[in-house]
Amino acid sequence: MIGKIAASLTWVALRKIQFYWPVNKQSTINTDKSELMKLVGLSKAYDKVVALDDVSLQMVVGEFIALCGPSGAGKSTLLYMVAGLLGADAGSIDVAGYDVSKMSSFEKTRFRKEVIGVVFQDARLIPYLDIRENILAAAGNQNRADQLIVSLGLEGRTSHLPGELSAGEQQRVGLARALVHFPKLVLADEPTGNLDDVSAEAVVSGLQNYVKDGGSVLVVTHDPRVLSKADRVITLEKGKILL
Ligand code: ADP
């Protein structure tokens, strides 16, 4: 009898551990190495349009990589695949030990909430939530939110709705939302496109501070204000990385 009870308790404990265990974590990840992201042989076509053609790229922890290239080169396609927002036709995507290409949609949602932060060109805030609520909508804690509100110059705007903010202020909120849960990697798609200098400077400083604190950034950009801060600039053209 006692044996049966012990077995049941062990089973319940194991189920709990499994529930809290990170999603689809590969057993092969070597945490001694500082590799953060590894893309191997990524390809994607939209019908007959080839967007990515056998792209491989590695990134280490603490890197700030800018991805540039002409319109239609496949930059956004690559970024959204790493974010798990778009499926690949071929290839593998490893981010911090998570095998993104094999995750279920539930796991991808959790991955975006816990492991990465995404900044879109348009901030994509929730219109009926105020600024503080937007920053904390998916994850994070109050202290971290307060710290970001101050460092991104958003004090005094926290109880406003997004529609009452300028595009630049909205983008700073978008960045705060992406950073509030201390993600391992921030993916940003033209985050300073169309921003005034003050807001662009705030966004660039925000990204730089996050990298100084141990974060990593992969940003699609043409903006010299961002390119000048990158450790590496990778150019994509016709779905391939220019060497
Ligand atoms: P970039 O971000 O470098 O401008 P994209 O990744 O947006 O490039 O697009 C790469 C190519 O894929 C382009 O030729 C684009 O027209 C095409 N493409 C992107 N999204 C779609 C889609 N949903 N349907 C069809 N073609 C698409």
- Which residues share a beta bridge with 94? 38, 99
Q: Which of 47, 76, 79, 234 to mutate to test the pocket of ligand 1 (most atoms within 8 A of CB)?
A: 76
Q: Which of 208, 214, 140, 143 is nearest to 179 (CA)?
A: 140
Give the pLDDT score at 5: 46
Assess whether pLDDT exceeds 50 at residue 208. Answer: yes
Residue 44 CA to ligand 1 center (angstroms) comes to: 10
Please say if the pLDDT value at position 7 is more than 50.
no
Atom number, ligand 1, closest to the C-alpha of residue 236: 3
Strand 217-220 with 64-68, pairing: parallel
Question: Greatest CA separation found in the chain?
Answer: 72
DSSP secondary-structure letter at 164? G
> Ligand 1 atom 22: the closest Cα is on which residue?
46
pLDDT band for position 139 (cuts 50, 70, 90): confident
Least confident of 6-15, 177-186, 202-211: 6-15
Distance CA 197, CA 199 (A): 6
Q: Output the six-digit token pair for 120.
A: 């879109």
Which residue puts its alpha carbon closest to atom 24 of ligand 1?
Answer: 46
Higher pLDDT, 121 or 53: 53
Name, in order, each residue with C-beta under 8 angstroms of 154's C-beta and a sequence gap of 6 or more. 131, 148, 169, 172, 173, 176
CA distances from 200 to 96, 152, 167 (A): 28, 11, 11
- CATH class as words, domain 30-241: alpha beta
Higher-confidence residue of 225 and 30: namely 225
Query: SS3 breakdown of the chain: % helix, strand, coil, rounded to 5?
Result: 35, 25, 40
DSSP state of 132: H
* Mean pLDDT value across the chain: 87
pLDDT at 213 over 60: yes
**Quick one: pLDDT at residue 15?**
38
Confidence of residue 31 (pLDDT cuts 50, 70, 90): very low
Q: Kindly report the protein residue whose alpha carbon is nearest to atom 23 of ligand 1.
A: 46
- Domain-wise residue ranges, the chain: 30-241
CA of 134 to the centre of ligand 1 (A): 29
Residue 8: the pLDDT is 44
Rounded CA separation 58/234 (Å):
11
Per-residue model confidence as pLDDT tens digits over 82-134: 999 999 999 999 999 999 989 999 999 999 999 999 999 888 999 999 999 99
For residue 2, how far is its CA from the centre of ligand 1 (angstroms)?
A: 62
**Ligand 1 center to residue 52 CA distance, Å?**
9
Nearest CA to ligand 1 atom 5: 74
Mean pLDDT of 177-203: 93
* Atom 17 of ligand 1, nearest CA residue: 51
Atom in ligand 1 nearest the alpha carbon of residue 76: 2
pLDDT of the residue at 39: 97
In three state form, how does the secondary structure of 136-162 look? CCCCCCHHHHHHHHHHCCCCCCCCCCH
Between 33 and 237, the more confident residue is 237
Residues with CB under 6 A from ligand 1: 46, 49, 51, 69, 71-77
Locate the ligand 1 atom nearest the alpha carbon of residue 47 and give its number.
25
Burial class (CB in 10 A: 0-12, 13-18, 19+), 54: middle
pLDDT score of 190: 94
